[in-house]
Amino acid sequence: MVRAIREREPLARIVGLDDNWTSSDLGDHGGALSGRVRQSLQDTDAGGFKNYQFDLVVHLASPASPLRYQADPLRTSVGNAIGAIRCVEWCKPDGVIFTTSTSEVYGDPIVSPQPESYKGQVDCTGPRACYDESKRFTESLFFDAYRTRRVASVRIARLFNVYGPGTLPDDGRAVSNFITQALRGEAITVYGTGQQKRSFTYIDDVVEGLMRMIYDCSYIGPLNIGMDREETVLNIAHCVREQVRLRDADMYSEIVHLAAAVDDPQQRRPDLTLARKLIGWNPRVSYEEGISRTIDYFKEELGL
Ligand code: UDP
């Protein structure tokens, strides 16, 4: 989403740009958007934006699901890299660029929890690299745009395993897979032993953190936004199965173990010291509550 003021035509506008690669169509957001463009970020003259300069560029693009970004790794790398360059071009010199980076910049961390100062352990030739490295490039480019005064400010948030209503049923990530499998009475697919850990963060908490970072502080980042309670993937599978059974006693999916994903990080947990101090943010929704809300969403979405 972009707040825009067209040069020589001082009309305040909010414009959304999305090619819907991994999302459904942009709604009208209650009328907040004054323009919607269905086009990819990397297109040279995306939506005719060449003539626009924006006060605030909010870059939320890129699939975050390994299944999705690995299905077309070149599109992922190129989309993130060219998209980041476009964002700098579209930003007014006195404007601000905001972006959602990712805990994937920490790779398979050997430090836990991960503070923003941790440099990470990413395999730049592995199947996750198209996402990890292009997000790292985006951070690097935005920091350079700020240091060289090409833009007045940037904000970089690093998100940890976001889930919740709004996810597509076939998105491919753990929480949505487990829920849709359990609701359909299919086996729940755990990759590897399931002892690998993640910090699953509910969407409403993430949105609150991002809004605070955009509007309530001048810290450029990077800033971790994520649940600081780490759980094994197997625990999440059990939690989903139990909660679906609470709704329908006949539903009880088998949990099957499939081959481990290549380069699958073994742990991921944010150090939230900075987020607490700078924007007073703490995740509020436990994964049990968040999973429950997400099950209700998918039940309706799938018509079950
Ligand atoms: N995972 C799993 N089964 C699935 C989907 C994911 O066991 O059907 C595992 C995956 O191997 C990883 C964790 O769940 O260890 C989180 O995966 P996800 O794709 O949600 O996000 P990631 O953190 O890997 O980007």
Q: What single letter denotes the amino acid at residue 254?
A: E
Q: Residue 114 has what DSSP assignment? A: B
Is 222 within 8 Å of 156 (Cβ atoms)? yes
Q: Let me know the angle formed at the C-alpha of 103 by 192 and 266, rounded to the nearest 5 degrees.
A: 25
Low-confidence ranges of the chain (pLDDT < 70): 1-12, 25-37, 39, 41-50
| Beta-bridge mates of residue 5 | 12, 53
Query: How high does pLDDT run on average in the chain?
Result: 90
Q: For ligand 1, which residues put their CB under 6 angstroms from it?
A: 65-66, 161, 173-174, 177, 189-191, 196, 198, 233, 261, 264
Question: Which residues belong to the active site?
Answer: 131
Distance 177 CA to ligand 1 centre (A): 9
153 vs 82: CA distance, rounded Å: 20
Distance 170 CA to ligand 1 centre (A): 13
Kindly give the residue spans of alpha helices, DSSP state H, lying in 148-272. Answer: 174-183, 203-215, 233-247
Q: Which residue has the tokens 């690998």?
A: 196
Distance 202 CA to ligand 1 centre (A): 16
pLDDT computed for residue 5 by the predictor: 34
| Atom 23 of ligand 1, nearest CA residue | 161
pLDDT computed for residue 48 by the predictor: 62
**What atom in ligand 1 is closest to the CA of residue 181?**
8
pLDDT computed for residue 3 by the predictor: 36
Best of 264, 267, 268, 287 for a ligand 1 pocket test (most atoms within 8 Å of beta carbon):
264
21 contact partners, CB below 8 Å, separation of at least 6: 40, 63, 68, 75, 79
Token digits for 168?
């597509």
| Atom 16 of ligand 1, nearest CA residue | 174
| Atom 14 of ligand 1, nearest CA residue | 174
**What atom in ligand 1 is closest to the CA of residue 163?**
20
Token digits for 226?
């994520």
78 vs 203: CA distance, rounded Å: 26
Buried b or exposed e, range 198-222, using 16+ CB within 10 angstroms: bbbbbbebbebbbebbeeeeebbbb
**What atom in ligand 1 is closest to the CA of residue 196?**
15
73 vs 126: CA distance, rounded Å: 11
pLDDT computed for residue 6 by the predictor: 38
160 vs 101: CA distance, rounded Å: 9
